[in-house]
Structure 1
Amino acid sequence: MSRLLRSLAGRVTLLTTIAVGLAVAFVAAGAFMTVRVQMQSTLDNSLLDRAQQATRTSALSQLSTDLKIPSWALGAGDIRVAFVYPDGKVLTPDQGPRLYIGEPEFAVAQGKRAYNIRTIAAGGTDYRVASVPAATPGEALVVAQSLEPQKQVLARLGVVLLLVGLLGVAAAGVSGWAVARNGLRPVRRLTVEVEAIARTEDLTPIEVHGDDEVGRLAAAFNEMLRALAASRDRQRQLVADAGHELRTPLTSLRTNIELLTQVDSPGAEALPAGARTELLDDVRAQIEELTTLIGDLMELSRHEPAAHLVAPVDLADVVDQALARVRRRAAGLVFDVDLEPAELVGDAAALERAVTNLLDNAAKWSPAGGTVTVRLADGTLTVDDEGPGIAGEDRDRVFDRFWRADESRGMPGSGLGLSIVRQVAERHAGRVDVEESPAGGARLVLALPVGAAAAAAGPAGPLGPRPTSPPPAAGPTARPATPPPAPPTTGGRP
């Protein structure tokens, strides 16, 4: 990670240097061109002013007779003049390199142009040439000035801009490196803390500094640590609770098996047939309890059910099948049932198990000859019993894994039945609640989205993609008279 941060700092520095270098280059080029254009404009204006002043001071014929440079040009060694006459003759008073007078200057002498300014080369030197008409028609005065002084100034300016630009780029690189290192310091600190957590597996939240992006990242990481710590605590609690719940039936099973083994050993006194049968029945019951507990644990460990089990389901059919099972195990109870069709998309097997756990829980706590009331309307299943009910302070814990009230310790069950109900409800975007029954017992309410509510949950809810086949047509649903055999399920009533 530290190598990655160094690479990131290097990239930030490089990008900063490139950006500043480009900016400096554009600014320097703009300044150079501005100065060059401004000097050119100043020189052109100066040449035109001098040429016009000369034409007003003296006639060209007089200048040509004296072959002298006028007083306005004296002391300016970089100034040269030439005279254009009506007969096309060109006279240069000085002895310098010949100025190549061309068509633009003749056009000025002939009155075709008011003036002309251009650059020409003479003797390896560039001159800026200005031509203006004289007082005598057909004559023109040409004033030329060397561009060497201007080139020297521009050359010095270019060197200065280059040096300043290089210094600016170097300063930008150093500043970018410093800013990158200081900016990545919180990231490096967070990296060190995260690496320490990964190395020590200590899920203590880290300290958050500030509310910037790194601070929000640290806060989000703390949320993840808390969730991970809670998950690990739940896992440890599940293992501890499962070990505790498995220890009791395993101890009893081992005791019974050892007793049967000792009785069957040579020389041991034989057990009466009734006692032996009772021991074997006890062993079978303990094996069934272990099987149920292991099945419940496997059900709770499922996070993503198989997609091929998801299909349109009538919750009323599911409740009918669960009632058929529970009635066989609770023959002494009366079931008051009123069911309305409720179409939804879900896992029929998981829903049946959840409903069975609710009914088993009510049957276990109902007195002999009592009534269990079952109602299904608008996708809400309500199960009322006539038992002692659930204390208000215990209602928030009845859906916890392995939690059981003190009065239920001696009763059958693993304490996982209602946990499975809650997990199935959440997987189907529903909920399960516990209330007080009007009959004085407990009321468990399983609410699932059906119809339009199920469609509003989205095309692929918590159970995975929905089938592409259309749901069955509305109308009476045929319910099996004889439900398929299934192993008994023990509810997890507290």
Structure 2
Amino acid sequence: MLRARITAVAVAATAVAIVVIVGSFYRGTSEVVADHLDRSLNDRADTVLAVLGTGAPLSPRSDTVEQILSPDGTVRLLGSGDHPLPVSDADRVIARTGSGTVESDLDFDGQSYGMLTRPRLGGGAVMVAQRYREPERIAREFFWRTVGITMIAVLVAALLSWLAIGRILRPVRRLLTATEHISSTQDLSTPLPSAGRDEIGRLTGSFDTMLTALRRSRDQQHRLVQDASQELRTPLASIRGSAELLQSTRLDSDEETRVLTTLVQESAALDELVAELVDLATDQPAATPDSEPGDGSI
């Protein structure tokens, strides 16, 4: 069904466009969330370093784990952490040299964390890890909202496409109904739907022109058959009468010669008439005696 196929193409194009746009937004949102996490880690590291510099107690946060890494590689937890963070060789280099920064992702206590290691004034390093729970929640919520909006948009696009394409194809259905009626009934006088100015209207106009030409051709055929039947009756009647006369009556030589001459003349006239009918049927002009090839006329 043409309407269903066009609707499917329109919906597919709409879905692809929506997926591309949403994918771009999702990628941008992920970058914003990642940037937010980086800033949060740096802010928390600044807070930890500032609090350690004053000697005040560090207020704990439920989504972070902090620890101090000494130059000799020993670890001391800060806040309310129960298990120390894993230490890499890069972290030990920062604690030993007092320079550099390391950012990494890790799985800790069965959860995903982003970790930042920065040098501490006076030696060692501070390691701060923050759970990805909030960014993951934001990304998950954005994903499912996006899926819902996409489904609604595709359904709306499908409905609008179905209605719009049905309206566009309505003249085509009318034209199809009319042509099927003409094909089944051979009624060339069947009127076609009104033609517009678009491509469908031009197509309807072309069909109407074709039907007009067919009606004219059929009328010409009917007239040709009627004229031919009238023109053929006279020579055929003459030939038949002459043949019956020869068959039923014994004639003298002069009368028989006259009858035979009549038969030859009527046969020639009949032959010329048939030739003219053939020329008319093939739309070729009949050749006149004065313009026959080889007669030398100009």
Return the TM-score normalized by structure 1: 0.54
1:211 corresponds, among 197, 202, 222, to 197
1:252 corresponds, among 238, 241, 252, to 238
Partner residue in 2 for 1:128: 114
Superposition pairs for residues 264-283 of structure 1, below 5 Å?
Answer: 264=250, 271-283=251-263
Superposition pairs for residues 217-366 of structure 1, below 5 Å?
Answer: 217-264=203-250, 271-298=251-278, 301=281, 354=287, 357-359=289-291
**8 A contact 1:52–1:132 mirrored in 2:** no
- What do the CA deviations read for 1:114-161 (whole angstroms, capped 9, x no partner)? 32221112111211111222222x421112211112212222222211
* 1:43 equivalent in alignment to 2:37: yes
- Structure 1 238/113 Cα, relative in aligned 2: closer, same or farther at 3 Å? farther
1:154 corresponds, among 139, 144, 149, to 139
- Structure 1 203/111 Cα, relative in aligned 2: closer, same or farther at 3 Å? farther
The separation in 2 between residues aligned to 1:15 and 1:105, in whole angstroms, is 56
The separation in 1 between residues aligned to 2:152 and 2:252, in whole angstroms, is 107
Report how many residues are paired: 294
Q: CA deviation at 1:194?
A: 0.9
More strand by share: 1
**8 A contact 1:190–1:218 mirrored in 2:** yes
Q: CA deviation at 1:192?
A: 0.9
The separation in 2 between residues aligned to 1:51 and 1:142, in whole angstroms, is 8
SS of equivalent to 2:245: helix
- Percent same amino acid at aligned positions? 28
Q: CA deviation at 1:249?
A: 0.8
SS of equivalent to 2:62: coil
Q: CA deviation at 1:300?
A: 5.1
Structure 1: gaps spanning 5 or more residues: 1-6, 265-270, 304-349, 362-371, 375-382, 384-494
The separation in 1 between residues aligned to 2:99 and 2:277, in whole angstroms, is 105
Partner residue in 2 for 1:17: 11
Return the TM-score normalized by structure 2: 0.86
The separation in 2 between residues aligned to 1:145 and 1:115, in whole angstroms, is 16
SS of equivalent to 2:68: strand
The separation in 2 between residues aligned to 1:278 and 1:45, in whole angstroms, is 127
The separation in 1 between residues aligned to 2:289 and 2:96, in whole angstroms, is 117
**8 A contact 2:175–2:193 mirrored in 1:** no
Higher-RCO chain (CA-CA 8 Å, sequence separation at least 6): 2
* 1:96 equivalent in alignment to 2:77: no
Amino acid at match of 1:163: G
The separation in 1 between residues aligned to 2:38 and 2:267, in whole angstroms, is 112
- Structure 1 154/233 Cα, relative in aligned 2: closer, same or farther at 3 Å? same
- What do the CA deviations read for 1:62-86 (whole angstroms, capped 9, x no partner)? 75xx7x42xxxx3632122111111
The separation in 2 between residues aligned to 1:164 and 1:227, in whole angstroms, is 55
**8 A contact 2:106–2:112 mirrored in 1:** yes
SS of equivalent to 2:104: strand
Q: CA deviation at 1:206?
A: 2.1
The separation in 2 between residues aligned to 1:163 and 1:219, in whole angstroms, is 47
The separation in 2 between residues aligned to 1:207 and 1:14, in whole angstroms, is 28
* 1:176 equivalent in alignment to 2:161: yes
- Structure 1 262/230 Cα, relative in aligned 2: closer, same or farther at 3 Å? same
- Structure 1 26/111 Cα, relative in aligned 2: closer, same or farther at 3 Å? farther
